[in-house]
Structure 1
């Protein structure tokens, strides 16, 4: 009956949660609660309810209201876009900011929440009855605590107790709600549930021995485990080219959720003659540091780092195994900024990690990357199924984080004399092996773009690298007062961190910066011809889903390190091929306004990137390099000569280079002039407009209109046309041309001749008599009036067909003739105008002149 009661409660609670979720979806995330200020709504945060756990748990009831709940509030970066931009520059070998990592104070000044915002969040929680338990210099994290009843009222949630199998845990029943002005500044609140327990990734050999399995012991240490000299010999770390005191001057950080016994560490050092460097312990959130069930994890992490970098200082950061403890421990490592290489062998199936926890961790890992810290995380020991079982593919957090180096597992097969022979994917069983796969939360990071072999081109792929993790080919570890053999990716991550300390030791001696977050450099090197020398490419085996292959694969990443060769390349930094850039023009010389295409040819190691085309010191534009070529087309070059160069940007594999200058000659544009008349033929004295049409490159200037060799006038070119109107052309044929002057961009040109015909002006003649009728023998004067265009010349007066005489036209267009000789009778008098240069002839109508 008790079980039924629990099931009923579980059913009821699940449906209540479904109803609340429905309300949130329908009515939005901004909800006004009864205790909210009247002028501000409350916003619900996200990523705090452990949905995967709750759906597999029984509800026991409400958590005691008097219980105190410790919480870690993680604030948002106010300018995360700028932080992302800086991270990109810090790890771009072509950027001036490359390797110029920030100090903790510089990071706080540039990217942390302001002091006023940090103080405002403290004040808010105090006003709600919380105790501020801890403040931090980076202003990103705030520790608070409150009784359950106080926290529940402040967040508008209910704290419930649940049972998942034999384990009991508590959780809020819904996402916390806060005033909008407060919620906008908060990324996550760790501690609202303790459903998640982070798992160690150490795998002892003893359980397999108890099952009667014969281990494949490959080392020369106690019980056949690998000892420090074996690791150095197999992975090429015993060369005289490496520093003699490996790790000297370097600090390695360890993230731990348990304690260790110092006597175990001393026994390990003594056995192998290592320097007596007792680790420094930093306790977080009141953790007591006492060894517990996870002490073997802490112990092997320390001992394997000592095995590889025995002269390095080791700081062990130990915190409680809780959401708040995890966040606080990581952030302490970041704000201390003492260790430039860190490893963690504690993880949680990504599917069981809340989105709030993932994003809160990511905020801290970004700070580490900006400060030049590299963190290595074991990728898990459950193969492709990190959540357990064999039905749901999943990866391990934090190995799947984009600013973490995920370290997978291999099975080692050394050659005679403890030298490297081969490795395969670690795969003990259907539920145990090297972790690897695809994140369901994090997008594909830039360093994984265009990498062949990825299982996903959309999401983060894990692991990045690997190392021996098979307990059957495992390491000799002194833990709990006895020698044991351990495997697990827990062994691989601290060795990679210790190896990085050796590299950073040499870089520091050379005056170089620390490597910082290692993935951008690793992925760059792995795509060069150095890959086969720097890495042991694992090509056999699988992790129960993903298979090893040439190059990158989701079972082992790029593989394990070849310590000496990779050391050289990491110490030197990203090496790039020399390149050369040549430049050609599609038309040289070219005409002004005509398109010319410049083609840059870049030789190198499959160069990518861009080419900037420059005219003297002026940038014309850029072109992307594809198949070794980049082009840029322009029609905007001015008339004259230009010194064009092509500057190749370089990329992660190729150095930059600039071509020699190409002299590009740009001539003035060819033009043509065409001429038209508004009236042809025209009449003398009538206005005629000549229009010249000039083609070219937006021509300006003037057109001179000529009649033969005589200039008629000029017209300004506008819109490709120039006009001239005239009424002064004489009668006859005229050879008219239009001569375009040209301008700074266009050549001169002259039209073909246009024959303009100008006809004489039509005239009229009239004749009148001074006396009609007249008397025989008396004088009568005939006056002829001629109209036209200022006619000149003579008028002939006729009597019928007989010529009487002539008269010269006056300026007023009149001519006269007087006679007294007309006989009696009627006479038909006409005036015949003879015309002149510009006026046509005309004859008047006959005038009947009577003579008595």
Structure 2
């Protein structure tokens, strides 16, 4: 099947620290940094002013109605101009902001949604505008330079009643892609790892001709087998008339996707990929493989859907929110996915503002900006998906040195953003059934689809090779409880919803000051629970993909970055089948699960086994796999019936 492609070799020695392998760089807001002084006054800086919504409560109510059968506005999605007129900033408010910026010598560009205004100027101009001083910092962790305000920025009183968030003054954060590789252990006593399929997955179907049937080399055809997508293909439902969007932070080679589809024998629509470079676009870099994955998976699940790739630069402060805002304001795509994120807590004042209290969980980052964008998408009927993360229940552990040594951080229970927002569907990860053996150890099996967490491998190595030889903490499907977003309406009556755990803190072992508490997380907070829906993401039961940047064909790849685009592609199929946009998934899928539970005719398979290092699989909602994995044919049946 893959004869035309070069297979990349990934040798790793047994005994290496294998946790947290990622192609996306991450600079944590909590990482200690050295103040290198004020940024040069003439240095250009671009920022985006996100404007306050009008009638936000009414907007949320309208969104509920669009996905609630029998409501007055069921499936009456708005256009971008209708959103701007009813919920975006008023013309007077926009004129006031633009006039004020012009007085400061700054030009401006308004999004058609009236949700944001982009502007740029010199450091001196923006320092004066926001009554702060941008300083350059050098990370002690990796030497990366970035800038951020040395003091809390102040929105001018003239426009403070209009501006909600200023994004771009701080470019400390680099989002990471939620892609993980299976550790390719070298031979042990002359033997190589033995990985074999145990079952076809959730439904037992094996009818898709593009499937490989081999764990670690699965294709989109295997996804169709696992999650009962084939009945839609048999009816000619291939995503025709649907448009998928990918929001990403790296540019890519579109030929990677066409090569992947061709080499698995998948017939697709030609000339289907359009690229939109936001804020100058992303680079061809270590994240390019992520973009390739997103396009290959979403466009492979829905082979006749159109695809728009919105790429923006990483580490600019406002690139990510700008790309999302553009994709939603354009309102061409019926569904949008992203596979990038960072810990939710990195937005909090305690980790961003000099002198802030270690209990200050005020949002000074982009959580509010993302939220406004996602509300617009929901009312326009655009379905959104975000990877929930690959660090299990401990989202910060994947990007920070974690342990008890000098220079290490603690590992509090945390979730990933933007997946934690209540108006996006958080894509979690499972392990599909397979059997495995390493070296001289015995063969063991995962006998049912389980929450993805590599402690099952950790236990194997500890038992048969020796304790502490391999450290796999905390690779697994992201999940837990938000400590910023409250429990949304659609989770209020869901069995298994939890509050945040007590005694969770982000502590740094400073080489000079000793143990330093950077943030104390709220206890027993009634927060939004993630993930929502999960599909196979474990690299040991993972996938092949093609990335020129990564050397061609890669196998043994996984992470929730595969699940988000797969759900995106599934939505394109549902869009064609039902004849309309699907809208925000969450209220619909939770209502179906709450009423009908699990069974042969329902759209969901409960994930009762496995764990993500803290939260365990259960016969109901759990923070490892959400409400479970999908039976897509059954979900299509429910949506067609107008439930």
Q: TM-score, normalised by structure 1?
A: 0.58
Tell me which residue corresponds to 1:484: 554
The aligned runs of 1:593-632 (5 Å cut-off) are none
Q: Does 1:430 align with 2:504?
A: no
**CA displacement at 1:82 relative to structure 2:** 2.2
Q: Does 1:352 align with 2:349?
A: no
Tell me which residue corresponds to 1:411: 431
Q: Deviations over 1:590-635 (max 9, x none)?
A: xxxxxxxxxxxxxxxxxxxxxxxxxxxxxxxxxxxxxxxxxxxxxx
**CA displacement at 1:182 relative to structure 2:** 0.6
Tell me which residue corresponds to 1:87: 63
Pick from 584, 591, 594 the counterpart of residue 517 of structure 1: 584
Tell me which residue corresponds to 1:378: 387
Tell me which residue corresponds to 1:238: 230
Tell me which residue corresponds to 1:501: 572
Could you say what secondary structure the match of 1:454 adopts?
coil
Could you say what secondary structure the match of 1:432 adopts?
coil
Pick from 298, 307, 311 the counterpart of residue 304 of structure 2: 311
Q: Does 1:467 align with 2:535?
A: yes
Q: Check whether the contact 2:27–2:172 (CA below 8 A) recurs between aligned residues.
A: no
Between structure 1 and structure 2, the one with the greater Rg is: 1
Could you say what secondary structure the match of 1:323 adopts?
coil
The aligned runs of 1:268-279 (5 Å cut-off) are 268-273=260-265, 274-277=267-270, 278-279=272-273
Distance in 2 separating the partners of 1:268 and 1:157: 49
Tell me which residue corresponds to 1:757: none
**CA displacement at 1:233 relative to structure 2:** 1.7
Q: Check whether the contact 1:525–1:531 (CA below 8 A) recurs between aligned residues.
A: no
Relative distance call for 1:558 and 1:518 in structure 2 (3 A) is: same
The aligned runs of 1:365-764 (5 Å cut-off) are 365-388=374-397, 389=402, 391-413=411-433, 422-428=448-454, 429-456=472-499, 458-480=526-548, 481-485=551-555, 486-508=557-579, 513-529=580-596, 531-533=598-600, 534-574=603-643
Q: Deviations over 1:618-665 (max 9, x none)?
A: xxxxxxxxxxxxxxxxxxxxxxxxxxxxxxxxxxxxxxxxxxxxxxxx
Tell me which residue corresponds to 2:293: 300
Q: Check whether the contact 1:410–1:434 (CA below 8 A) recurs between aligned residues.
A: yes
Relative distance call for 1:223 and 1:467 in structure 2 (3 A) is: closer
Could you say what secondary structure the match of 1:101 adopts?
coil
Relative distance call for 1:247 and 1:185 in structure 2 (3 A) is: same
Which runs of no fewer than 5 residues in structure 2 stay unpaired? 1-25, 198-210, 349-362, 403-409, 436-445, 455-471, 500-524
Tell me which residue corresponds to 1:747: none
Pick from 246, 251, 261 the counterpart of residue 254 of structure 1: 246
Q: Check whether the contact 2:259–2:546 (CA below 8 A) recurs between aligned residues.
A: yes
Distance in 2 separating the partners of 1:296 and 1:211: 27
Pick from 214, 217, 220 the counterpart of residue 212 of structure 2: 220
Distance in 2 separating the partners of 1:198 and 1:54: 14
Could you say what secondary structure the match of 1:263 adopts?
helix
**CA displacement at 1:504 relative to structure 2:** 1.3
Q: Which has the higher contact order (CA 8 A, sep 6+)?
A: 2
Tell me which residue corresponds to 1:155: 130
Distance in 2 separating the partners of 1:336 and 1:102: 13
Could you say what secondary structure the match of 1:182 adopts?
coil
Tell me which residue corresponds to 2:180: 203
Could you say what secondary structure the match of 1:528 adopts?
helix
Tell me which residue corresponds to 2:331: 337
Could you say what secondary structure the match of 1:216 adopts?
strand
Q: Deviations over 1:715-739 (max 9, x none)?
A: xxxxxxxxxxxxxxxxxxxxxxxxx
Q: Check whether the contact 1:337–1:371 (CA below 8 A) recurs between aligned residues.
A: yes
Structure (1 or 2) with the greater strand fraction:
1
Q: Deviations over 1:747-780 (max 9, x none)?
A: xxxxxxxxxxxxxxxxxxxxxxxxxxxxxxxxxx
Distance in 1 separating the partners of 2:37 and 2:121: 20
Distance in 1 separating the partners of 2:447 and 2:301: 20
Q: Check whether the contact 2:80–2:112 (CA below 8 A) recurs between aligned residues.
A: no
Q: Deviations over 1:153-205 (max 9, x none)?
A: 22110111112222221100222223323111001111111011111001133
Distance in 2 separating the partners of 1:51 and 1:241: 43
Q: Does 1:281 align with 2:275?
A: yes
**CA displacement at 1:381 relative to structure 2:** 0.3
Pick from 102, 106, 110 the counterpart of residue 82 of structure 2: 106
Q: Check whether the contact 2:216–2:539 (CA below 8 A) recurs between aligned residues.
A: no
**CA displacement at 1:433 relative to structure 2:** 0.4
Q: Check whether the contact 2:333–2:382 (CA below 8 A) recurs between aligned residues.
A: yes
Q: Check whether the contact 1:221–1:476 (CA below 8 A) recurs between aligned residues.
A: no
Could you say what secondary structure the match of 2:481 adopts?
strand
**CA displacement at 1:53 relative to structure 2:** 2.5
